[in-house]
Structure 1
């Protein structure tokens, strides 16, 4: 019984301060991502370069990746079960949406109505086609295939999930953006996670190391801003956005792991040929 009022109390307390809380969280995440990338690069440079990761290390990476997928899927299922008006999470969602609608400054609302376009379907499709053509032109066939599968897979997965749960959107009457269709999970959130997450993976594969930290920081900023813009615009509940990030992140991990596995097999075959 103590859990029920606690979530709603947090939502009521957070709503008037949602914008500064978002900015603090965004800055923290961006700086933490950049610092983590730099730290990883330094540790990697300090180690002796190996032709191929040792088996225990590779198995540990696979185990961690699989664990992350399982945890993300479990969290998604937990949110999906409770994101209804009859449950605490659903009521907290409504309190937060109503509080943001009543307190968010008009200028911030207009800014988010522009920033949200990073996750628009037309933008993601154009980016998907452009990157695929660039990869093919540079003869990165395997990466181009992985990129296409990631984007097309998420484009099919998100509508299926929406029709499975059929959650209505929150009321949004500001007129800056109008969305129809189902709400759970957020397509902008999952699409941004997959497209910009895969773009980061490609950047880490193809760009010089000096660009890795800026790429990580920019990716975090774009994904979080796009996802949270849906909450501030009141076209999605907060749980829709979290679920979209989880579903997109799970699919992203599957795709990146598959591409990494294929790339390693390709490198092994090349070494065998040259022996």
Structure 2
């Protein structure tokens, strides 16, 4: 079949043969770039003159909503394009399978064992426990708006992902490893979208609650957690690579909506309090 010898399938086989090395290199690069970007952003903010705060807040609000809107449109378009290319016999589906087979043949058992443990950081029960702990902590700190946004973000993704799975109804990869098969549909990856929303929102909470010197560390930790959990699903062959890509896209879309909404409500509260103070 021509699709079986297509460049995409051959590339997927090559990537699968070196998947572990590529994952480690990509993880280090992503974490390093994230840390550097945070440091540069902090220095830029520190060196900026503090003038016309209200105008700056409006600009930040419009920027967050504009970014969120573009993110939603872009990820939704990519998600739809990805879904359309996953039909039986399609090249992307064959590439998914070729990548999974190559990973199973070339990844050491020790690495598989590590991924089988790390993947539990994205389990629904783990994210639910994290959600409860953070929500209680924020509520006790009287951060009611942030606590509400946190709960809505996690709960919303927990509803959205199963709905998408039912729509696309894609079967999971089959393998003969010692790791048990996972029940349910495969597309998009719930662990990936759940981890992205939970740890992405946790990063947002950290930037609101922690001193600026901790922001870079928090961002690097969040990126490391999300990438590790997402890639663990491919290494363990409980998801195809395209399932994980779709989980990233759907998670980013929902996270963008939640953060933009929180920024909007927060700006409204700040503006309202400022108006009340002026009236007094």
| Same fold at TM > 0.5 | yes
Unaligned runs of 5+ in 1: none
For the pair 1:43 / 2:44, whether they are aligned, the reply is yes
Partner of 2:120: 117
Out of 173, 197, 200, the position equivalent to 2:200 is 197
For the pair 1:19 / 2:20, whether they are aligned, the reply is yes
Change (3 A) 1:88 1:144: same
Out of 169, 173, 178, the position equivalent to 1:170 is 173
For the pair 1:220 / 2:223, whether they are aligned, the reply is yes
Q: TM-score, normalised to structure 1's length?
A: 0.96
Question: Distance between the aligned counterparts of 2:3 and 2:166, measured in 1?
Answer: 33
Partner of 2:260: 257
Report the count of equivalent residues. 275
Partner of 1:77: 80
Equivalent residue runs for 1:55-204 within 5 Å? 55=58, 58-204=61-207
Change (3 A) 1:107 1:142: same
Shift of 1:68: 1.7
- Does the 8 Å contact 1:196/1:223 carry over to 2? yes
Question: Distance between the aligned counterparts of 1:2 and 1:270, measured in 2?
Answer: 62
Unaligned runs of 5+ in 2: none
- Does the 8 Å contact 2:71/2:252 carry over to 1? no
Shift of 1:4: 7.7
For the pair 1:211 / 2:201, whether they are aligned, the reply is no
Shift of 1:65: 2.5
- Does the 8 Å contact 2:13/2:99 carry over to 1? yes
Shift of 1:55: 4.5
Q: CA RMSD in A?
A: 1.7
